[in-house]
Structure 1
Amino acid sequence: MGRLTTRRRITRLQRTDTGVSSRPRNDVLAAEEPLELRVGGQTLTVTMRTPGHDFELAAGLLVSEGLVSTAEQLRSMRYCSGTDELGQQTYNVIDLDLDPALVQAALSTRRHLMTSSACGICGTTSIHAVHKALPEHPPKPQLSISAETLLQLPDTLRANQDLFASTGGVHAAGLFSGTGELLQLREDVGRHNAVDKVVGACLLNGRLPLTGTAVQVSGRASFELVQKAALAGVELLSAVGAPSSLAAELAETAGITLAGFSRGNSLNIYTHPHRVRL
């Protein structure tokens, strides 16, 4: 498995009372490597990610693309052979064995361009692919969360970000119950990847749809993150940053409670505030 972190020799500059000092030191960086997903021997997509929980990332991405909704539709996953310049296994290529009925649909939506860990929909072959089909009959809402609990989610998320604590260079997504219990947390250099890893873990454990849950993310709330939450059945998405206009519009349509600027003692609720108790 690829490394989560790497060490690098750097030069540290610091302002002092007498000027700027310079000294060498070792720093820890979050690892970033490409991951290629293949279906039937053909490339489905290539994305940049922090190695680790790769099968969860692959499964979550399939959910986010609207290609699978149950673990049974994803029959197996395996690392393909691939080595680096030292002849070591890279673990950067995964072969997905899908239900045969889904293979053609998967390949018809594949991305032909390299995508970054943070770009979300860039690289999709058609703008129509952005608008994934939401469930026609979504599960009956079950989430009710107190305002105090909702305000505490960013702190709980941050307190459990081990990789961020050592590198300061990754995003996180946390799945929470209505009482504020942390059910799942994943970190990655890409905020979209962090959400996909959470969703993928739940898919593989047979826990979709995620009715009655909330997702807290460490960055802003984009259209793509709301879309991922909607396809996974999440009822509330909260972000420490701002939402985009499209994120708010989709959350309104999908029936998701969208919160933003969740920092300290305040936050903004942009859609469906009925799930939050004062």
Structure 2
Amino acid sequence: MGRVTALRPVLRVRAERRSHRPDTLAVEEPMEIRVGGRALTVTMRTPGDDFDLAAGFLVAEGVVRAAEDIAGIRYCAGATADGANTYNVVDVALAPGVPLPETSLERNFYTTSSCGLCGKAGLEAVRTTAPWDLTADDLRVSCRTLALLPERLRAAQRVFDKTGGLHAAGLFAPDGELLCLREDVGRHNAVDKVIGHALRAGRLPLRGTILMVSGRASFELVQKAVMAGIPLLAAVSAPSSLAVDLAREQGLTLVGFLRGSSMNVYTGAERLPPHRGPAPSAVS
């Protein structure tokens, strides 16, 4: 398995003082995702939870929707000069009867760690038909509980403490309990890892849950939440206009600029009723 951190030399400048030292960085490596032996995409990611990443990616693309749709996931040969496996090629075998991905989903070049949609044939190919009806999800969560999630997400980021260079995605229960956290150099990869973990555990759709992300809320992240049946997506930064449009269209509650007790609720405000009673504890 690949390392998640690596040391690189750095010149550290602090005012007039200079020193040479090793710095711990987040590892970024390419991973090719194959389906049935056919290359589908290459994404730049932080090694770790690669099977979850592949499974979550296929959920977001509408290829699979249940654990039973996947017959198996394995690493393929991908060796370095000294013959060691790089663990950078993953092949997903679909269960009998599950259709292979359409040709339009194939990427012609790398999916970068900052953009999960690069190489798409077009916007309409991204608007995959959602398998779950989010409007039927009766999730209710107080704004006070929601305000605690960024701190809880940050507190659970182990690799970020060493590198300062990773995004995080966390799945939370309505009471603020952290159910699953994944880190990656790419926002969309971290979300795919969370969703893939849930898929492989047989937990889709993720009704009554909250997805919290450390960066901005892009169209692709809203799409991934919708495809996993998550009714609420919260981000510490801004959403895009297209993200808001898709969230409104699909019945997703979208929260941005979630910092402390302040937030912007762009869609689905009915899921955030006024809180009555004492504030929840900041310690989970």
Mapped partners of 2:41, 2:177: distance in 1: 34
Output the TM-score relative to the length of structure 2: 0.93
Mapped partners of 1:32, 1:137: distance in 2: 36
Aligned ranges 1:32-111 → 2 under 5 Å: 32-111=28-107
Mapped partners of 1:69, 1:91: distance in 2: 25
SS of structure 2 residue aligned to 1:201: helix
Mapped partners of 2:97, 2:215: distance in 1: 36
1:55 aligned partner, one-letter code = F
1:142 aligned partner, one-letter code = D
Mapped partners of 1:137, 1:257: distance in 2: 13
Q: CA 1:138–1:146 in 2, change beyond 3 Å: closer, same or farther?
A: closer
SS of structure 1 residue aligned to 2:91: strand
Shift of 1:216: 0.5
Contact 1:39 1:107 in 2 (8 A): no
Mapped partners of 1:119, 1:9: distance in 2: 28
* Partner in structure 2 of residue 249 of structure 1: 245
Shift of 1:103: 4.3
Pick aligned residue for 1:261 from 247, 257, 277: 257
Pick aligned residue for 1:201 from 188, 192, 197: 197
2:175 aligned partner, one-letter code = T
Matched, 1:222 2:218: yes
Matched, 1:233 2:229: yes
Shift of 1:52: 0.2
Q: CA 1:47–1:163 in 2, change beyond 3 Å: closer, same or farther?
A: same
SS of structure 2 residue aligned to 1:69: coil
Shift of 1:100: 4.2
* Partner in structure 1 of residue 182 of structure 2: 186
Matched, 1:6 2:6: yes
Mapped partners of 2:88, 2:153: distance in 1: 28
Mapped partners of 2:134, 2:213: distance in 1: 23
Shift of 1:105: 2.9
Pick aligned residue for 1:134 from 130, 134, 145: 130
Contact 2:135 2:252 in 1 (8 A): no
Mapped partners of 2:149, 2:129: distance in 1: 29
2:48 aligned partner, one-letter code = G
Output the TM-score relative to the length of structure 1: 0.95
SS of structure 2 residue aligned to 1:128: helix
Q: How many residues align?
A: 274
1:214 aligned partner, one-letter code = I
Contact 1:31 1:51 in 2 (8 A): yes
Shift of 1:125: 2.4
1:126 aligned partner, one-letter code = G
Shift of 1:140: 2.5
* Segment of structure 1 superposing worse, 247-256 or 116-125: 116-125
SS of structure 2 residue aligned to 1:253: helix
SS of structure 1 residue aligned to 2:81: coil
Mapped partners of 2:266, 2:51: distance in 1: 33
1:202 aligned partner, one-letter code = A
Structural RMSD (CA): 1.3
Shift of 1:264: 1.6
* Partner in structure 2 of residue 165 of structure 1: 161
Gaps of 5+ in 2: 275-284
SS of structure 2 residue aligned to 1:38: strand
Shift of 1:115: 1.1
Deviations 1:175-216 (A, max 9, x none): 001000000000000000000000000000000000000011
